[in-house]
Structure 1
C-alpha cells in the first residue's frame, strides 16, 4: 500500500515510493529505494521536502497516513473545482485554423532551436553571446501563438532525449510566451518572458558534460556543481549589453521555491517575482514530461496534477491554475481513453473549458487496432450528452506515435 507521509514521519527501514520532488531537485538516481542509512535520511531532509510517498508493503508503515488513492482523489477534486468555472481567456488565442498554422509553427520551432543552440555553443566556447536572434525568435513564436497556440504547443510534445538541453529551452520559452499571453500581459512583458525562457538554462553550458548527463546518482559535490548553473548563467548574461533584466532574474532564480527550499538564494514568497514564479512552473513541467537517459518522462496530464499537489509549498497556486488553463488539463499530445472505447489524441486545448479539448480518435480498444482518424469536439459532446473522457493512457503501451498524427493534421 502506498501512503503519503510527512518528512517528520520518515525513518530508516521505510521503502520510498516517490520522493515527491522533481528529479533535478534531489541527488538520488531514482525515486524508489529502501531508506537504509541515516546519511540518506539526512540528505532527503536537506532537500526541504515536506511530504513524500512510501510503500508500506516493502518497508515500515505509518498506518494513519493517507493512501495514494485518497491523495489523488483529493488532488483531482480540488483541481477540478478550481477549473470548473468556465472563464473567458484574457485574449483570444485561436483566430487561425490548426491546419493552417501547423506548418508555420514547425518552421518557427526549428528557427528557435537553431537560435538556442548558437547561444549555448557560444557560451561553451567562451564567445560573446548575441541575443538579437533570440529576440526575433520570441517575436515569431508570439505571432504563431496568437494565430493558434495549439499548433506550437503540439510541436513541443515531440521530444528527443538526446537533444534535451536545447529542446527544453525552446519549450520553456514557448510556454512562457503562451502563459504570459493567457494572463493578458502587454507585448513588452510577453517578449521579456519569452527571452527569459529561452535563456534560462544558459548556465548549464558551464556544467561539465559528465555531470550534466550522468546516468547514475550524483555525489554531493556533483549535485552542488549542477546547482551552480543558475549563478553561472547569470554571470554570463549580465555581461551582455542590453540584456533584459527579466532574463537575468529568471536565469538566476528559476529554481527558487515559495517555501524557501529552492536555490541558489532560498528566496521565499514575494521575494520571487511573478515571471520567475511562472518560469519555475514551466521549467518543472517540461523537465518532468521529457525523457532523459536517467529519467522517463511522465504524461503531461499527470505532471499538471503533481504541480497542483506541490502548490502552495513550491509554486503559486493561482499561477499553476492559470498555467493549466493555458495548456489544458489534458495538454496537446495527451492520449485519452473515451467511454466509447476509443483512444484519442488531444490536438487543441480549450482555454475557456480546460476539461473539454478537441481530440482526434485514432485507435479502438474493442478491436485493438487503428481506426480512420475522427475529429471530436468534447465541448459539443458534453452539450449533447455524448462521449466523455474516462482516463489518460500511455502511447507507448499501444505503440501509438503521437507525433505522426499531430504533424499530419
Structure 2
C-alpha cells in the first residue's frame, strides 16, 4: 500500500518509494529502498524535499492515523500532479545559446557525477543495480542537450583525472543523446540510448583500482582484466529489475569493432547493433579528449581527425559521420587558426555549416601577442574570415583554453 507522508514522519524500516520533487533536490540517486540508516533520514530532512511516498507492503507504516491510499488512488494523484506540472512546464526546451545553458549544465554535471559515484559504490558492495532512479537524471541530461547540444557535452569533457571513470559515463550519456537526435531516432530510443551511455562502463566498478588508475601502459595481463568490464557490467545490470535490452547490449558490446578485432565477442559489422556502434564512437571520443592518468587529452578537432583515420575497421561509417555532424568538424574547445593569422577557440556551433562555428579569437600569430578576446560568428553574411587549420594547444602552451570557451575559472564538479 502506498502512502504519502511528510518527511518528518520517516523512520528506519520504512520503504521509501518515491520523492515528491526533482532528483536534483535530494541527495539520493535512486529510490525504492528500505531505510536502514538514520543518516539517510537526516539527509532527506536536510534537503528541500517536504513529502515522500512510502510502500507499507515492503516496509514499516507510520505510527499515527495518517490515512493510507490504494495504489490506484496514488497513481491518479501522481498523474494529476504530472498534468499540473506539464501545464506549467519550465524546462525551456527551445534552443538557447551555450552561454545561457552552461550554468544549468554544470549543475547537472555535478549531480550526475554524484549519482554515478553512488551507483559504482553500490555495485562494489555487491548490491543489485537499480537503474530506475537514474531515469530522471537521463531526462535532465537529454533536456540540456535539446536546449544546447554543446554545453553539457563539452563541460563533461573537462573532468579531472580522479573523476574520469564517473564523468566519462555522464559524457557518453550526453553524446549518445545528441547522436540519437542526429540519427533521427524517436524519443524513447533517444532516452534508452542515454541510459545505455550512463551505464555502459558500470563493470569498471569491479575492476581493481590499481589497474583502473594505473599511470602508465597496462601489461597484457592487466589489459585482460580490464577487458572483462563489459561482461561484468552486463552481469551487474542483468541482476537488476526491468533493465532495457538496449542498455544491456551497449554495456556488453561497446568495445566491439566492425572488423571483428574488438571484445568481448569479436563481433563484425552487421553483427553489432546500431546502439552498440553508437556507444563505441561516443566512448572513444570522450576517452581520447579527456585527461587520463597516463596522458593528456587531445584537442577535440584533432581527436575527430584521428578517429576518422581509424574509422575503417573500428567504427561504422554512417554512425561516425552522424557523430561528426552532431559535434561539428571543429567541436567546442578546438584551437583553430583563421585566415587573418589570429588564433581562436571554438565556442559554439552555428548550425549553418560544419566549418563555420563561432570562434573566440584571442591571439595574433603576426605579433605573437595576446589580443582582446572577440567572438566571431563565421557563418554570418559578410564575414570573410575562415578556418585555415587546426592548431595543437601543446605547441602554443595555452593553459586557459577551457576558461576562454566556457567562462569558468575551474570545473564546477
* TM-score when normalising by structure 2: 0.73
Report the counterpart of residue 385 of structure 2 in structure 1.
Answer: 387
User: Conserved in 2, the CA contact under 8 Å of 1:344 and 1:360?
Assistant: yes
Instruction: Answer yes or no: is the 8 Å Cα contact 2:128–2:239 preserved in 1.
Output: no
Paired residue for 2:145?
145
After superposition, where does 1:84-99 map in structure 2 within 5 Å?
95-99=95-99
Correspondence for 1:40:
none
CA distance in 1, matches of 2:233, 2:383: 52
Distance 2:290 2:98 in 1: 24
Q: Could you tell me how far 1:385 is from its partner in structure 2?
A: 5.9
CA-to-aligned-CA distance 1:275-322 (integer Å, 9 cap, x gap) = 110110111111111121212322111221222222231111111111
How large is the RMSD of aligned CA atoms in angstroms?
1.8
Structure scoring higher RCO (CA < 8 A, sep ≥ 6) equals 1
Name the counterpart of 2:397: 398
| Deviation digits for residues 75-117 of structure 1 (CA, Å, limit 9, x no counterpart) | xxxxxxxxxxxxxxxxxx9721222212111111112111111
Alignment deviations for residues 218-259 of structure 1 (CA, whole Å, 9 cap, x no partner): 332222111000000100010110212111100100000111
- Give the secondary structure class of the aligned counterpart of 1:145: helix
Matches within 5 A, 1:13-24: none
Whether the 8 Å CA contact 1:288–1:303 is kept in 2: the answer is: yes
SS of the equivalent of 1:312 reads: helix
> Match of 2:379, SS?
helix
Contact 2:299–2:393 (Cα < 8 Å) also in 1: no
The higher radius of gyration belongs to 2
Cα gap change, 1:332 to 1:385, in 2 (>3 Å): closer
SS at match of 2:373: strand
- Quick check: 1:289–1:303 contact (8 Å CA) kept in 2? yes
Aligned equivalents of 1:351, 1:321: Cα separation in 2: 16
Q: CA deviation at 1:352?
A: 4.2
Retained in 2: the 8 A contact 1:157–1:333? no
2:406 counterpart residue number = 407
2:191 corresponds to which residue?
A: 191
CA contact (8 A) 1:259 1:268 kept: yes
How far apart are 1:394 and its partner, in Å? Answer: 3.1
State how 1:49-128 maps to structure 2 within 5 Å: 95-128=95-128
Name the counterpart of 1:291: 291
Deviation per residue, 1:107-151 (Å, 9 max, x gap): 111121111111111111222333233211110011111111122
Q: 1:233 to 1:391 in 2, by over 3 A?
A: same
SS in 1 for 2:120: helix
Distance 1:97 1:399 in 2: 25
Q: Number of aligned pairs?
A: 315
Flag the 1:217–1:308 CA change in 2: closer, same or farther, 3 A.
closer
Residue 368 of structure 1: how far off its partner (Å): 3.2
* Secondary structure of 1:159's aligned partner: coil
SS in 2 for 1:184: coil
- Contact persistence 1:325–1:351 (CA under 8 A): no
Q: What's the CA shift string for 1:26-65, capped at 9, x where partnerless? A: xxxxxxxxxxxxxxxxxxxxxxxxxxxxxxxxxxxxxxxx
SS at match of 1:218: coil
In 2, Cα distance between the equivalents of 1:295 and 1:168?
A: 15
Query: Equivalent residue for 2:264?
Result: 264
Q: 1:154, 1:333 within 8 Å by CA — same for their partners in 2? A: yes
Q: Which residue of 2 aligns with 1:167?
A: 167
What is aligned with 1:376? 376
Structure 1, unaligned stretches of length 5 or more? 1-92
